[in-house]
Structure 1
Amino acid sequence: MPEVIFPLDSTKPFTEQKLTGHNRWHPEIPPVATLKRGESYRIDCREWFDGAIKNDDSADDIRDAPLNRVHALSGPFRIEGAEPGDLLIVDILDVGPIPQEEGPLAGQGWGYTGIFAQKNGGSFLVDQFPDAYKAVWDFRGGECTSRHIPGVTFTGMVHPGLMGTAPSSELLKTWNKREGDLIATEPNRVPPLALPPEPDSAILGSLSGADFDRVAGEAARTAPPRENGGNQDIKNFTKGSRVFYPVYVSGASLSMGDLHFSQGDGEITFCGGIEMGGFIDIHVDVIKGGMDTYGVSENAIFMPGRNGPVYSEWLAFSGTSVTLDGEQRYLDSHLSYQRAILHAIDYLAKFGWSKEQAYLLLGAAPIEGRFSGVVDIPNSCATVYLPTEIFDVDIRPSASGPTQVDPGMGAPRAMNPG
């Protein structure tokens, strides 16, 4: 096993560990350790809410999820020899739940998926699903099942939802300016258009005093993906993947976290992957001057691993850029994917699952989403592919009609969703 460079004790909160990670992006957050080029390391990761979500039959914790605290990131790590303009190579050698543990912390044999309430960030389909719901998944080997969504079993495609390098001071200013300008166009929107710097609940490694206060007021939230990688939530970014990150600061300051046992393309419920804590084994190296050599001035490129589940039979649904009210939109691929997902939800509901169960399933299972047509004006076309092998019943259309499943207790809904 590689050296554990960032250990986490499951019995202690994230801020009471031997090493303190962070939950904001800023170039001045001090590295917790140095990784040598050509070496391999194990890094423990805490699930993104640091234990706030419980293994129970209530969704009140999803409704009240403390968004100011996310993400609980391991790092940053200084990479020996990395300088601005280089490309950082990160190989994912292995990734999984917390090893050999069962307990109350996500990753200890279980994980969760949530539909976020509108007032707490919402989801991809927030207009149709404005309230908070939750599904808990139990892990057995490489597979998972849920008491909240009976009738399905699938193999996990474990991956880090978030990994990235620190921004330079100039890049951080660019982020804050452009996102602040967007917020200013509709400052009272619920959910908001973007998340500005927020000192409340900021975790900034070993910074303290006046430096902490200043950085907390400048640091960017970790919710969106940006030029440095960040919260990209790419389900194929799994064991065996190699990623090339732009380096903006001396030492790169690499960080990671937000592990998922599985996820559908898009992480459509917002808390859409099967969230968990766990570990990730990485190998690091550097391509000197690689940003200019390969034209990678922004945004990472990666080579997906070959270790995901293998499904060969699919049922696909399509959608076009027409709203539910019949309004024509011009090549709106985001809307097209929403419509494809809604068609899949409506279809699965015919078999007895609630629409909330279907939505949670599509966020967690390894569905494939594709932009299938983006040039034929005025309608873009998006498609979503469901692996039919994950279902206990045959979900293909037939003359006999849909087989009815027992939906069990259903997905818990938050009380007093407001």
Structure 2
Amino acid sequence: MPQVVFPLDSTKKFTEQQIVGHNRWHWAIPAQVQVKPGDTFRVHCREWFDGAIHNDDSAEDVLHAPLPSVHVLSGPISVQGAQPGDLLIVDIVDVGPIPQEDSGPLAGQGWGYTGVFATKNGGGFLTEWFPDAYKVVWDFRGGVATSRHIPGVSYTGITHPGLMGTAPSQSLLAQWNAREQALIDTDPDRVPPLALPPLADSAILGSLTGDDFDRAAAEGARTAPPRENGGNQDIKNFSKGSRVFYPVYVDGANLSMGDLHFSQGDGEITFCGAIEMGGFLDLHVDLIKGGMETYGVGEHAVFMPGNVEPRYSEFLAFSGTSVTVDNVQHYLDSHLSYQRACLHAIDYLSKFGYSRIQAYMILGSAPIEGRLSGVVDIPNSCSTVYIPTAIFDIDVRPSAEGPAQVASGATVPMASSDA
């Protein structure tokens, strides 16, 4: 096993650890760990809510989840010799649930969860159709996830980190804050909001204290969206064997990571849509000096996907176009067309005995394939969603006999709307 450079004790909260990580992006957060190019090392990662979500049959914890405090990230980790303009090479050597802990109260200890947030807390991709908070708990066994809340489905996970990235420079952070605030100002009362501005309350900033902490807390960027430094990209094929090339904006690069997923569909459409868990990452790092200029990577990472994933060979594919359910035409809106493809898949699965929320949860957590299939044929873009047929215990292909029915009885916990 590689040396553990960022350990986490499962009996302690994130802020009580030997090394405290962070939940905001800021150039001034000091790295408390340093590695060298060529090193291979292990990092422990806590589930993104630091244990606030429980293995039970209630969704009240999702409704009241501490969203301002996410994500709890392990890092920053400084790479010796890294300078602005370099490319940081990160190889994912291994990734998995919390080692040697196959039961316990933390997600990653033999179980994980998928959630839908209430609209007021950010909703999800289909929040207009699913405005309430829901939760599904999954059990892990032999690399396969099953759930007491969704009958008749099981799938092998494509385990991956949802979030990894380098620290922004002072000027890049200022760009983020300015452009996102400008977007918020176009509709400041929107629910859910158009973006998440800096929020000093609940900020965790590693070893920063005093005035340095207050200054960084007031301007640190929230970790929810992906940005030029990587961040919360939620790429399901970012798995074991992946190699990623990150732009370096500060001395040492200051790499951070977290938000591990046991499985996820393209788009993580329920927002808390992967099977969330804590666990570990084994990483190898190296540098390409001056690589940003050499390869034209001025912003956003380039990566080579890993070569480990379930071997699903048969799919049902559903398409959608950029027309709303109310028959309003939009011009080449691929977000809308993917939304419609997902809704068509939900309509279809509901004919097999799944509730609509169960079908939505399947699309968020199973290794579905999402594709832009047509982006040039005005006025309609076309998006498609591919569902592996082998994840179902029943045959979900169309036939003259009509749809088979999944065993009834299981339900998805929903939080009370007035809680």
**TM-score scaled by length of structure 1:** 0.99
Q: Please give the alpha-carbon distance, in whole angstroms, between the structure 1 residues aligned to 2:66 and 2:399.
A: 45
Deviations 1:257-302 (A, max 9, x none): 0000000000000000000000000000000000000000000000
CA contact (8 A) 2:132 2:417 kept: no
CA contact (8 A) 2:50 2:72 kept: yes
C-alpha root-mean-square deviation of aligned residues, in Å?
0.6
Deviations 1:21-53 (A, max 9, x none): 000000000102001110100000000000000
Deviations 1:128-150 (A, max 9, x none): 11001110000001101000001
Letter in structure 1 aligned against 2:232: N
Letter in structure 2 aligned against 1:127: E
Structure 2 segments unaligned to the other structure (5+ residues): none
Within a 5 Å distance, the mapping from 1:174-213 to structure 2 comes to 174-213=175-214
CA contact (8 A) 1:149 1:407 kept: no
Deviations 1:171-223 (A, max 9, x none): 00000000000000000000000000000100000001111111100100000
Letter in structure 1 aligned against 2:77: F
Letter in structure 1 aligned against 2:151: P
CA contact (8 A) 1:10 1:105 kept: yes
Q: Please give the alpha-carbon distance, in whole angstroms, between the structure 1 residues aligned to 2:418 and 2:330.
A: 31
CA contact (8 A) 1:196 1:221 kept: yes
Structure 1 segments unaligned to the other structure (5+ residues): none
Deviations 1:335-383 (A, max 9, x none): 0000000000010000011000000111000000000000000000000
Q: Which residue of 2 aligns with 1:93?
A: 93
Q: Runs (4+) of structure 1 moved beyond 3 Å?
A: none
Q: Which residue of 2 aligns with 1:27?
A: 27
Q: Which residue of 1 aligns with 2:259?
A: 258
**TM-score scaled by length of structure 2:** 0.99
Q: Please give the alpha-carbon distance, in whole angstroms, between the structure 1 residues aligned to 2:222 and 2:112.
A: 24
**SS in structure 1 of the partner of residue 319 of structure 2:** strand
Q: Please give the alpha-carbon distance, in whole angstroms, between the structure 1 residues aligned to 2:319 and 2:298.
A: 34
**SS in structure 1 of the partner of residue 397 of structure 2:** coil
Q: Please give the alpha-carbon distance, in whole angstroms, between the structure 2 residues aligned to 1:374 and 1:47.
A: 36
Percent identical pairs in the alignment equals 74
Letter in structure 1 aligned against 2:56: D
Q: Please give the alpha-carbon distance, in whole angstroms, between the structure 1 residues aligned to 2:137 and 2:39.
A: 36
Letter in structure 1 aligned against 2:88: L
Q: Which residue of 2 aligns with 1:68?
A: 68
CA contact (8 A) 2:132 2:414 kept: yes
Q: Please give the alpha-carbon distance, in whole angstroms, between the structure 2 residues aligned to 1:94 and 1:388.
A: 28
Alignment pair present for 1:396 and 2:393: no
Following superposition, the deviation at residue 416 of structure 1 comes to 2.8
| Change in CA separation of 1:268 and 1:177 when aligned onto 2, cut-off 3 Å | same
Deviations 1:309-339 (A, max 9, x none): 1100000000000001000000000000000
Q: Please give the alpha-carbon distance, in whole angstroms, between the structure 2 residues aligned to 1:332 and 1:281.
A: 39
Q: Which residue of 1 aligns with 2:407?
A: 406
**SS in structure 2 of the partner of residue 145 of structure 1:** strand
Q: Which residue of 1 aligns with 2:161?
A: 160
**SS in structure 2 of the partner of residue 151 of structure 1:** strand
Alignment pair present for 1:316 and 2:323: no
Deviations 1:99-119 (A, max 9, x none): 111101000000000011001
